[in-house]
Structure 1
Amino acid sequence: MKTDLGDLNAFVAVARAGGFREGARVSGSSASFLSEAVRRLEGQLGVRLLNRTTRSVVPTEAGKGLLERLGPALSEVESALDVVNGFRDRPAGALRLNVPVSAARLVLPAIVPPFLAAYPDIRLEVVTDESFVDVIAAGCDAGIRYDERLEQDMIAIPIGPRIQRFAIAASPDYLDRRGRPQHPRELLGHACLLGRFSSGAMTAPWEFERDGEIVRVDPTGPLIVRVGGATDLAVDAAISGTGIVCLFEDWLRPHIDSGALEPILEPWWQRFSGPFLYYPGRRLVPAPLRAFIDFVKASATA
């Protein structure tokens, strides 16, 4: 049985994206093209691969089995074809990164514009996701996360600032009304603005460190936001006087410098290592990703 490789790619794109419209956006095709390709593949195989409803597209058991086997195989095909890309004067193609919102906001703005200017034939897509994901299963080439402890088949390289701090701050109006904490434990008597990850885990307890002493407090407050997409709401609430916010210093710095927020307990702000770009080490690195890796390394030494 001779099956069109394009039809297989179409099925994988739709199955991974969970829909024809999203699959079309990711793959750069049209939804109608993907629909026809999947229908043709199902007709050739004589089995339904996707269950379609008005709200979702979900692989059948047969579709799940096919997707599980096709993913690695198509990745190897892409890697083989990418060898040809190495003979071009300039790398070309798509590069898809999976990153947390903090990296998209604080790390990539200094890297992406000059990278795309240097490599105009590369099309970069950035997907924000707060959970640690299998970048290959998510259809991405690489990811950015904090903490270099990754799976054994992953390679990690530093990207962005190597040392960062968590900062806490509140509006001057709030601090005039409620008082200015002099020790982290005093935060237990304040309205603190908290975050929750998609996994359900909270951003509390907050951790502070000074002269080797580590203090952890588990504050409460009137607002909990989803980490990533709703983080700016917590910042806006802090500026409006609702409570105290704890976040990356670089995220809060513009508001601190403008006077909208006042730093609290700055000698206690905890330092932590910067993020890492990670990618699978078990296969040939695609040319666009190799270009990005080299660019990140060169930027770090510049």
Structure 2
Amino acid sequence: MNDLPLADLDAFAAVARERSFRTAARKRGVSASALSEALRRLEARLGVRLLNRTTRSVTATEAGMRLLERLSPALGEIAGALDQAASERDKPAGTLRLNVPTIVARVILPPIIGRFLKAHPAISLEVVAEDGFIDVLAAGFDAGVRYEERLEKDMIAIPIGPRVQRYVTAAAPDYLAKHGEPQHPRDLLEHTTIRHRFQNGIALAWEFGEGAAAITVAPPPTVLANAIDLEISAAVGGLGVIRSFEEFLLPEIKAGRLVPILEAWVTSFPGPFLYYAGRRHLPAPLRAFVDFLKAEQRHSERYGMFP
């Protein structure tokens, strides 16, 4: 008897307490016939009558009264447990695990997670920053952040951070004074450069412009690294031309340690996206983060700015 359907036991208790199929059905939002069928199944499984039914009344039998007395506390405990589980939607807790590119970890994510964690103090955050391309779910992450061309097609993606970013080119004043300023991307083939190599060993060529007007060059590097701090330091030290996210180079440009060049060839592209599997029931921390990002996106659209 340990495999008695919980729904049938709950239906019996509801009818026994209300002493009416119709009243119990109305309160539960089901039909009276559904409750009657549930009771029929339960009595058949137990081999005993639990309710006496007439056209005018429904009353529990002696066996039904004993069952109701034992059953009510257990059903109450179950209802309380379900209510507590449902309350996690309003007060989510747990750990949110994200895999993000370096640019996102350094520039985009910090102000966002500051606001998010203050709004959800019961959530903790684990972030791994890497520029490689991995299966985030297989690696144990709840979600990842990537740019549009790297999004997996079977995932759900929502914007995170600025909707437009730029790639810019720069060099140190001393380097330009010594080697001259390139006027066209192809001129970079005659210059030394500082280029980025991803963790998988790939060093992408530099692409300037968009569409049919795009130009791709792969100038010889003086420094080839996967550490942006080292790359920026090398550029500031006059070792060559650097091309990277504007957010990385802007502090050095503002300080005068780097000078923007090839400004007619600045490349704009869509900002990053948070992506995750399209499961119906997301982990509570991820659901809270998704809802938070959507609210911030609505705010930015309403006021014409990224918050």
TM-score by length of 2: 0.67
Q: CA deviation at 1:299?
A: 1.2
Amino acid in structure 1 at the alignment position of 2:208: F
- 1:108-187 correspondence runs (5 A): 108-147=109-148, 150-187=151-188
Q: CA deviation at 1:194?
A: 1.1
Distance 1:168 1:249 in 2: 8
Distance 2:131 2:292 in 1: 25
Q: CA deviation at 1:221?
A: 2.0
> Which residue of 283, 291, 298 corresponds with 1:286?
283
Give the stretch that moved more between structures: 88-97 or 167-176: 88-97
- The reply on whether 1:93 has 2:86 as its aligned counterpart is no
Structure 1 pair 180/151, CA: closer, same or farther in 2 (3 Å)?
A: closer
Q: Which residue number in structure 2 is paired with residue 223 of structure 1?
A: 223
TM-score by length of 1: 0.68
Amino acid in structure 1 at the alignment position of 2:282: V
Structure 1 pair 82/165, CA: closer, same or farther in 2 (3 Å)?
A: farther
Contact 1:238 1:245 (8 Å CA) reproduced: yes
Amino acid in structure 1 at the alignment position of 2:220: T
Percent identity between the aligned chains?
Answer: 52
Q: CA deviation at 1:85?
A: 4.5
Distance 1:163 1:82 in 2: 43
SS at match of 1:207: strand
Structure 1 pair 292/111, CA: closer, same or farther in 2 (3 Å)?
A: same
Contact 1:210 1:268 (8 Å CA) reproduced: no
Q: Which residue number in structure 2 is paired with residue 247 of structure 1?
A: 244
Distance 1:296 1:148 in 2: 21
Structure 1 pair 127/82, CA: closer, same or farther in 2 (3 Å)?
A: farther
Contact 1:148 1:276 (8 Å CA) reproduced: no
SS at match of 1:161: coil
Give the stretch that moved more between structures: 114-123 or 85-94: 85-94
> Which residue of 284, 297, 301 corresponds with 1:300?
297
Q: Which residue number in structure 2 is paired with residue 39 of structure 1?
A: none
Q: Which residue number in structure 2 is paired with residue 275 of structure 1?
A: 272
Q: CA deviation at 1:134?
A: 1.5
User: How many residue pairs end up in the alignment?
Assistant: 218
Structure 1 pair 284/148, CA: closer, same or farther in 2 (3 Å)?
A: farther
Q: CA deviation at 1:182?
A: 0.9
Which runs of no fewer than 5 residues in structure 2 stay unpaired? 1-80, 300-307
Write out the 4+ residue segments of structure 1 that deviate beyond 6 Å after TM superposition.
Answer: none
Give the aligned CA root-mean-square deviation in angstroms. 2.1
Distance 1:176 1:122 in 2: 52
Amino acid in structure 2 at the alignment position of 1:220: P
Distance 1:187 1:214 in 2: 15
Q: Which residue number in structure 2 is paired with residue 71 of structure 1?
A: none
Which runs of no fewer than 5 residues in structure 1 stay unpaired? 1-80
Structure 1 pair 238/149, CA: closer, same or farther in 2 (3 Å)?
A: closer
Larger Rg: 2
Amino acid in structure 1 at the alignment position of 2:269: F
